[in-house]
Amino acid sequence: MHRLPRHRQIKVFEGFAGYGGASFGLRRAGIRHKVVGYSEVDEDAIELYHYNFPNVRNLGDITQLDPHSRSFPDFDLFTGGFPCQPFSTVGKRQGQEDERGRGTLFGDIIRICEVKQPQYILLENVKGLLTGKMRATFEIILDELHRIGYDTRYAVLNSKDYGIPQTRERLWIFGYLGELPEGFSIVPPEEPLQGYLADFLDDNPAPELYKTQRQIARIHEIHHNDIFDVEEPLCYDIYNRKIRTDRICMTVTPPEHNVIRIIEPMQNGEERFRKLSLDEHFRLMGFRMDGVNNEILFPPTQNYTKLGRRAGNGWDVNLVGILLNHIFWQLL
């Protein structure tokens, strides 16, 4: 990834901030920036964000923010991985008319950006927004961005195509206030893997991550599969009851979804079957985690489930860095 030439500092507002995926990605891309504020309501996410970016102010619930208020700073870039559902469904449930996304969290993005007019908007969502019943919602999203002055591009990008051995497909939407340059592309050139799954795992995983032989036998009984005998650590897909032999991890999800396990080579005739560690969760989300200079720091008050949930709901910061670098090389 090439470093950008020197440019003026970009002011950033992170909506739906989570652990600060945009902030970590901007740092990775080498883009001079200042985060002037963020919006997050999940207490655990707020604590994790503040632990890593203690000087950035949380402006609170995005639905309550007033873009006309003097306390709401101006910014150049809005970022957010917003929750989404068909607008018509929301409207029926709430008893209101919102075919244009009004009354939804996407509606708050439009409400704020229509007033603040940032030069850039970067949004993320699941690829399912492009298909089936969700397609109509996606078309409204583009229409609304166009209505308030933004030229848009979108693409589904997969983490495994940009260095990280995780199948993680996400929809990225980029909006530019005005008209994008001719030939602009949101899709960065693909990059080789930095390693396979085995290269992203801990050298000495904690014993409590492992299932007992009795628990493993029960999994065989339920899943009707053979002994777990592999030559290198591989991902086991609990949902589909099979080993991923492509040496790539399936999509990292919150721990309560309970879908990923790691199978390791047998030791002393015993099978090895375990959960991902927290460092592994975040390594597969693009973070550099060497145990000494970890790129993200964990608050001591947060447990496995809380931190694992943040990883599963977060942005692949390696991909975000590549994407932002690619975008701004064409614009700055």
Least confident residue range of 36-45, 46-55, 96-105, 175-184: 96-105
DSSP state of 224: T
Amino acid 332: pLDDT: 87
3-state SS string over 82-108? Answer: CCCCCHHHHHHHHCCCCCCCCCCHHHH
Beta pairing class for 242-244 and 260-267: unpaired
Average of per-residue pLDDT across 231-256: 96
CB count, 10 Å around CB of 227? 10
Amino acid 48: pLDDT: 98
DSSP state of 188: P
In the predicted structure, residue 228 carries a pLDDT above the cut 50: yes
List Cβ neighbours of 295 (8 Å cut-off, separation of 6 or more).
Answer: 24, 282, 287, 288, 289, 317
Whole-number Å distance between alpha carbons of 274 and 304: 14
List Cβ neighbours of 133 (8 Å cut-off, separation of 6 or more).
Answer: 86
Average of per-residue pLDDT across 234-263: 96
Amino acid 7: pLDDT: 85
Using pLDDT thresholds of 50, 70 and 90, give the confidence band for residue 135.
very high
Beta pairing class for 33-38 and 10-15: parallel
pLDDT in tens, 69-120: 999 999 999 999 988 666 644 444 443 345 565 557 899 999 999 999 999 9
Residue 17 sits at φ, ψ, to 5 deg, of -70, -30
* Buried/exposed 5-36: b ≥16 CB within 10 Å, e otherwise: eeeeebbbbbbbbbbbbbbbbbbbbbbebebb
Check: CB of residue 39 under 8 Å from CB of residue 17: yes
pLDDT-above-70 percentage for the chain: 94
The first and second tokens of residue 39, run together, are 């919006």
Average of per-residue pLDDT across 239-255: 96
**pTM for this prediction:** 0.94
CB-side neighbour CA atoms (13 Å) of 170: 28
CB count, 10 Å around CB of 208? 9
Whole-number Å distance between alpha carbons of 98 and 121: 22
Among the listed residues 44, 40, 31, the one whose alpha carbon sits nearest the alpha carbon of residue 310 = 44
Average pLDDT, the chain: 93
% helix / strand / coil in the chain, to the nearest 5? 35, 20, 45
Name which residue leads in pLDDT, 92 or 169: 169
pLDDT in tens, 49-72: 999 999 999 999 999 999 999 999
Beta strands in 115-244 (DSSP E): 120-126, 150-158, 169-177, 234-237, 242-244
In the predicted structure, residue 237 carries a pLDDT above the cut 70: yes
C-alpha distances out from residue 29 to 22, 25, 153, Å: 10, 6, 20
The first and second tokens of residue 118, run together, are 């940032």
Amino acid 291: pLDDT: 87
Amino acid 97: pLDDT: 42
pLDDT in tens, 259-292: 999 999 999 999 999 999 999 999 999 999 998 9
Tell me whether residue 84 is one of the annotated catalytic residues: yes
Catalytic residue among 84, 113, 235, 249: 84
Whole-number Å distance between alpha carbons of 257 and 239: 9
DSSP letters, 132-160, are TTHHHHHHHHHHHHHHTTEEEEEEEEEGG
